[in-house]
Amino acid sequence: MASDFDWWKGAVFYQIYPRSFMDSGGDGVGDLKGATEKLDHIAKLGVDAIWLSPVFKSPMKDAGYDVSDYCDVDPLFGDLEIFDTFLARAHELGLKVIIDVIMSHTSDQHPWFQESRRDKTNPRADWYVWADPKPDGMPPNNWVSIFGGIAWSFDTKREQYYMRNFIKEQPDLNYHNSQVQDTMLEMLRFWLERGVDGFRLDVINFLFHDKELRDNPPKDPFKDGFSHQYEKLEPYNMQWHKYDKSQPENVAYMERIRSLMNEYPGTMTLGEIGDDDFIGRSAEYTEGNKYLNTAYCFALMYGDHANGANIRSAIEEFENNNKESWPSWTLCNHDNIRVTTRWGKKKGYDKNPDFAKMLMAALTCLRGTIFLYQGEELGLTESTIPYEKIQDPWGKNTWPDWQGRDGCRTPIPWDDTKPHAGFSNGDDTWLPIPTEHMDLSVSKQEADESSMLGFTREFLAWRKQHRVLIDGEIEFLPETNDELLVYKRHNDTHSAICIFNLSDQHSTLTVSKADMSDIFEAKNNQWDGNQLTLAPFGYCVLIY
């Protein structure tokens, strides 16, 4: 059983994307005061903790992932006093709070970078990754940006290239500089002293680069696999990322982070790790008690459909290769197409509430720490954003092939009877709220116990009654077809059989009810003795 110090094991987190959660100021953008007003909604879901996406001071070229001051809140969201109020209210409701910290890069407007670019001899000259151009003016190597183009931008003032893994306004810090390492640890301490319960560490394996700036080797994406979920032929997918990230020095720095966290018992770290070998890298970064507590797993965030066989395969790969690591699972977040659309649209399931309910139950019964993205409790679908409304810099670069990440970032529909669905009383919202989300509003679902919202509350409350679903081991059981996902959870005192039908057809299997002490199942399942016929998108969780 998890102790108070490792409360995060088996916990359910709710991700707040603040600019789309609740606007209290009427400017069309969500803020911390608005989020504080809606914390009751999160607490009523029955989750244990909150992951708060970035609220640091920022020019907002990449929605706050371009930080210009790590120790202040951007006026768009409020100020430090409002943050403290948010944190205190969350704690009052029994909710832990981890904040999203971007350690690998800053904004180009950060005072550190402004000083660093001034010349090659200033006190922060070596705080960022600078390199001379080749004799022909080309960048120092073949590294490419995740967002497209080369991973280098030329600065005419300093007459050198600076490294940036993302947009040109996000220069990479140089962690080979010990002052940078120490300063960033002190930044984490600043927030720990304010009372946060931990950190979600953005692209945490990107901190160190190869000092020699060696070229990445080529990769055949069709033969060797793609590097991210969109599975498009892009330059980033055509390299093995051997030298631009995941360097050995990075692991040693994780020890320093863990040492700091150990000074604040009961805090935790969640690493976002993007790597050619995610499974192996996650194991390396979370092994034993020296590094991160857990790593955010992307295995269930890919593909345009899902069945029991490929979900089982992804989970077993992690479990078999990361025996010393505690997993974290999610189906979607602020960077990914919403799961109802990603896995459901191809077969017409995306607007079926039974499909969304089954996915919620299947996710929250897995062994690991669970992350829900805001709106998942409502069954929200991906939104289509007109080009002129796109805010995401990645989407602007890839349109019309892909609209970027804005489709999952539209504001929460709180009340379909109010302008802007009750999200804002301003003239407009930063992203449009799709008409189809009005029928999924919180106010509408509050009045219907059978709604997705009602189901989420009911199931998470039931889950908390059965410790085996929180700390039990996992073992996959034989299925009768690939559309079924069947696994067992077990601890020293109880076991649970968890069965999920990922198809729109009935599915029958044999299940014994002998010695069963509790059950949670779809209401339109059918039993004939020990023969269980699962309804389309049916589920059944039996406690023994």
The set of catalytic residues is: 202, 263
β-pairing, 484-490 vs 495-501, is: antiparallel
Is residue 22 within 8 A of residue 30, CB to CB? The reply is yes
In terms of Cβ atoms closer than 10 Å to its own Cβ (0-12, 13-18, 19+), residue 72 is middle
**Cα–Cα distance, 8 to 267 (Å, whole number):** 9
CA atoms within 13 A on the CB side of 160: 17
Collect all residues with Cβ–Cβ distance below 8 Å to 528 and sequence separation of at least 6: none
Is residue 338 within 8 A of residue 375, CB to CB? The reply is yes
CA atoms within 13 A on the CB side of 131: 27
Question: What are the b/e assignments for 474-512, b being 16+ CB within 10 Å?
Answer: bebeebeeebbbbbbbebeebbbbbbbbbbeeebebebe
Question: What are the b/e assignments for 345-369, b being 16+ CB within 10 Å?
Answer: beeebbbbbbbbbbbbbbbbbbbbb
Q: What is the dihedral of CA 452, 458, 463, 465, to 10 degrees?
A: 180
**Cα–Cα distance, 5 to 288 (Å, whole number):** 16
**Cα–Cα distance, 99 to 52 (Å, whole number):** 5
**Which residue matches tokens 């059989």?**
497
β-pairing, 539-543 vs 495-501, is: antiparallel
